[in-house]
Structure 1
C-alpha cells in the first residue's frame, strides 16, 4: 500500500477502539506502513493527521519497539504537531517511550532512545506544558518529564516552576496529575 492509499484508508478510522486497534494491527503486520503513517501524521495541518496519530499510538501500545527504526523521524517532527486531537496521542507515545526507557523490564528502547531523542521529547513535553494545550498532553508530559528528570538534573526545577505557576489556573485533571508529580518529587 502506498502513502496515498493509506491516506484514503485513514478516512475510515474513527475514535472507536475497535477501528484504531484494527489499523494498529495492520501497521504491525506490515511495518512498511509505519513511515507512511508518520508522513501523514506530520502533515500537521491536515484533518487526517490525527487519525494517523491515533493508530500510531495504538501500535505503540501493542508493540512500542516497532517505532525504533523511526525514532529520528518521530522525535524530529513531533514538536510540529499542533492539532489537539493529534497532540494527545503523540504525547502518549512520548510517555510510553519514557516509561519503557526508565522501567525495570528489559526493553530495546533502553538502547535505541538516544540522548538526541530524549532531548527532543523533553523539549516537546515542556512545550505542551507551557502552551494552551488540552489537559491530556500536559498530563502525559508531566509524567515523561518526571522520568527524564532522573537523568537530566535541570528538568525538575523547571517542571516544579511551571507546575507551581499554573496550578491555580488549570483544570482538576491537571491539578490531580500535578499533585502526583509533586509527591514524587518531594521523596
Structure 2
C-alpha cells in the first residue's frame, strides 16, 4: 500500500476541490485504482467512506475504471454502515445502472436491485432512498415487477417521508406510470 496515497485520502474532506483533486490524480495515475477500491471496500479502514467519495465521482465520468472491481464493490455495498459511505454507494449504484459504458452481469444487476429495495424499505436517509428509487426506476423499464414493487413502496411510505423523498418519489412515479 502506498503511504502517500493513503495519507491524501485520510486528509481529504467532502469538499469538491478535495474530492476532485483525488479523482484527477487517480484518472492520471490509474495504477492507484486498485488501491482506491481496496480502501473503499475495507470496512475496517476508517477512511473507506473518503475513498468512496472518489469512486462516486469516477463512476460518473470514468466508469470503465471500475470494471475490474465491480464484483468486490457490489458485494460490499450492503455491508456499509457509515452514512457517507451509504450515500456515496447509492450514487454509485445509480450511475452503474444507467452507464452506457459498463454492461453489468445479471447477477450484478440483481444485487443492485436488492440493495436498492433494502434502502427503500429500511432506515436509510433520504439521499440513498432517492438514488435507490432512480436506480429501480431505470431497471423498471425492463422489469415490470420492479415497477409494481416500486409503486407499492412509494405509495405506502409517501406520507411519512420528507419533502426531498416526496419530490424524488413524484418524479419516479411519473416516469414509471408513462
Q: What interval of TM-score do these two structures reach, taking the shorter chain for normalisation?
A: over 0.9
- Which portions of structure 1, spanning 4 or more consecutive aligned residues, are displaced by more than 6 angstroms? none
CA contact (8 A) 1:91 1:140 kept: yes
| Residue 108, structure 1, aligned to residue 98, structure 2 | no
How is 1:18-97 mapped onto 2 (pairs within 5 angstroms)? 18-97=17-96
User: Residues 131 and 46 of structure 1: is their aligned pair in 2 closer, same or farther, counting only changes over 3 Å?
Assistant: farther
Counting matched residue pairs gives: 178
* Deviation of 1:70 (Å): 1.5
> TM-score when scaled to structure 1?
0.88
Supply the RMSD in Å over aligned alpha carbons. 1.6
Pairing partner for 1:144 from 128, 135, 139: 135
Structure-1 separation of matches of 2:124 and 2:13: 22
CA change 1:3–1:149 in 2 (3 A) is farther
Alpha-carbon separation, structure 2, partners of 1:108 and 1:46? 30
Report how far residue 153 of structure 1 moved: 2.6
In structure 2, runs of 5+ residues without a counterpart are none
